[in-house]
Amino acid sequence: MENIHQLYGVFAAAVTPLNPDLTPDLEGLKQLLHFLANRGCHGALIMGTTGEGPSISIVERLSIYKTAAEAVKLIPNFQLLAGTGTPSLEDSVNLTRAVFDLGYSGVVVLPPYYFRKISDNGLFAWFSQFIKKSVPTNGAVLGYHIPPVTGIGFSIELLSRLKDSFPDQFLGIKDSSGDQAWARTLGLHFGNDLLVLNGNDSLFSLALKSQASGCITALANLMSPLHRAVWDNFQAGFPDEINQNKLSKVRELFDRYPPMPPLIKQVLSRVYGFPMWSIMPPLLDSNSDLVNNILTEYIAALE
């Protein structure tokens, strides 16, 4: 498959900087995107799970999308993806139209996750309407497969049907299932015909071996030089077990203390000098003593 959208490599699922009053820190977002670009990221996902997208209002999401688009004008070749999926078809359509108007490279779209016992036919009908109403002919759509959170996933049959029906728009999937067998199945079934960006750091090398095009992960906010090393070495034909092991250790550490956005914001502040950005309820700030212990393990895992 010729990847005309150039959606490959290391993407950070960017946190959303929030002020103490829970309004977006737009200057902080610009600084974060430059930080990520300077540490090897090919791009960033704005308003994904790590970005607390479902917790943030439509109006504020639009201002965040716009600020990110302005920021990357000064970052050559940096790709922006936007999380635009909501349970509402109309809200998803309006958000998606807006980000394509802003010049985003693509959207990562959750299935409509409120009604969980939905057939593939129902999901196909929703995505068909979504694509027809909001995605330009050169727009890229990735389904967001994260069933542990949404309770709804993409089957092989649904992916095939969407890909066949919208071959120039529905390009693939962000796979945040954390399922090794599923990562292998995607590669075996689709090969290069489906663009896969893996969402679990522990499975990054496995996903690349299974013909994934890269990753979109929360930990790339912190560790993108290691992700980039794994990516670059894989492209050169040299599997990077050392850096993959470091990624796996830190992922295991962070998975022990969910949810991830508060902890990532803490580490960005304490280790990398960013402000201590707030968290949107219902998420809460991480316990300070716990963070101290996690930081000790985090630093040790990088040595």
How does DSSP classify residue 286? P
Active site residue 113: no
- As given in the structure block, the two tokens for residue 158 are 């649904």
d(CA 81, CA 154): 20
d(CA 258, CA 125): 33
Active-site entry in 8, 104, 113, 144: 144
- As given in the structure block, the two tokens for residue 260 are 């991830």
Active site residue 114: yes
Instruction: Enumerate residues 6+ apart whose C-beta is below 8 A from 50.
Output: 13, 14, 15, 218, 221, 260, 261, 264
- As given in the structure block, the two tokens for residue 153 are 């996933």
Q: Classify 25 as helix, strand or coil.
A: coil
How does DSSP classify residue 9? E
Active-site entry in 23, 114, 272, 296: 114
Active-site entry in 16, 30, 49, 265: 49
Q: Classify 13 as helix, strand or coil.
A: strand
Active-site entry in 50, 86, 104, 174: 174
Active site residue 246: no
Distances (CA, A) of 63 to 15, 102, 225, 274: 15, 11, 29, 21
Active site residue 144: yes
Residues with catalytic roles: 49, 114, 144, 174
